[in-house]
C-alpha cells in the first residue's frame, strides 16, 4: 500500500534535495580549485591546505590579483 503524496510536497522535497547537492558539490569544487591554484603558485602543502579552507575566497583573490 503506497501513500499518496500531493504533487506540491513532492516538488518541495526534490528542490530541497537538489539545493543540498549543489551546495555540497560547489564547496568541494571550490576547495579543489583553490588547492590546485595554490600548489601551482607556491609549491607548498601548508599554503595549499590553508587556501583550501578559504576555497572560493582565495580563488576570487587570485583572479583579481592576476
More confident residue, 66 or 19: 66
C-alpha to C-alpha distance for 59 and 33, rounded to whole angstroms: 7
Residue 49 CA to residue 53 CA, distance in Å, equals 6
- Give per-residue pLDDT as tens, 5-28: 555 656 666 666 655 655 565 568
Task: Give, in order, the Cα–Cα distances in Å from 51 to each of 22, 27, 33, 42, 60.
Answer: 21, 13, 10, 11, 11
User: Quick check: 47 pLDDT over 90?
Assistant: yes
Residue ranges covered by each domain of the chain: 7-65
Q: What is the pLDDT at residue 43?
A: 97
Residue 29 CA to residue 24 CA, distance in Å, equals 9
Confidence of residue 64 (pLDDT cuts 50, 70, 90): very high
Amino acid at each position: 500500500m503506497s501513500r499518496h503524496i500531493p504533487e506540491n510536497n513532492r516538488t518541495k522535497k526534490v528542490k530541497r534535495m537538489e539545493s543540498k547537492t549543489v551546495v555540497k558539490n560547489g564547496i568541494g569544487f571550490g576547495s579543489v580549485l583553490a588547492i590546485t591554484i595554490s600548489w601551482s603558485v607556491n609549491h607548498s602543502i601548508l599554503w595549499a591546505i590553508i587556501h583550501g579552507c578559504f576555497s572560493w575566497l582565495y580563488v576570487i583573490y587570485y583572479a583579481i590579483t592576476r
